[in-house]
Amino acid sequence: AQKVTQAQTEISVVEKEDVTLDCVYETRDTTYYLFWYKQPPSGELVFLIRRNSFDEQNEISGRYSWNFQKSTSSFNFTITASQVVDSAVYFCALGTSYGKLTFGQGTILTVHP
């Protein structure tokens, strides 16, 4: 069975602070994908990143960066210099060979001006 745990239910920061969202996963599959999605109040799931299990390179995209560590089964997400527009619910998800995704419980991020 697949499992994704996001330890932080809610995070509140002030604009320009850096914030890291934690994600830990469990799977017996050797081939899998990890995702991060942003869900603003409007409700749609906005794709942020996909990483496969064989690619442990960290990635940076603008103010966003991701740290994938297979040894600790973690795929953490950092927002540098947070902005009010980053306020949303963020989901980490795990996908395996059957195609369905298993989501974490989500982290509500609030960035105050």
Partner 1 sequence: AAGVIQSPRHLIKEKRETATLKCYPIPRHDTVYWYQQGPGQDPQFLISFYEKMQSDKGSIPDRFSAQQFSDYHSELNMSSLELGDSALYFCASSYRTDLRGYTFGSGTRLTVV
> Strand, helix or coil at 96?
coil
8 contacts: CB under 8 Å, gap ≥ 6: 21, 22, 107
Asked if 85 contacts 62 with a C-beta cutoff of 8 angstroms, the reply is: no
- Which CB sits closer to partner 1, 18 or 56? 56
Question: Long-range contact list for 58-66, CB < 8 A, 24+ apart?
Answer: 66/36
Angle at 18 between CA 23 and CA 10, to 5 degrees: 50
From residue 20 to residue 59, what is the string marking binding to partner 1 with x (rule CB under 8 A)? -------------x-x-x-----xxx-x--x-x-------
Minimum separation from the CB atom of position 81 to partner 1 (A): 27
- Which CB sits closer to partner 1, 76 or 91? 91
Using the rule CB under 8 A, which residue among 28, 41, 57, 98 binds partner 1? 98
8 binds partner 1 (CB under 8 A): no
Q: Which residues bind partner 1 (CB under 8 A)?
A: 33, 35, 37, 43-45, 47, 50, 52, 91, 95, 97-106
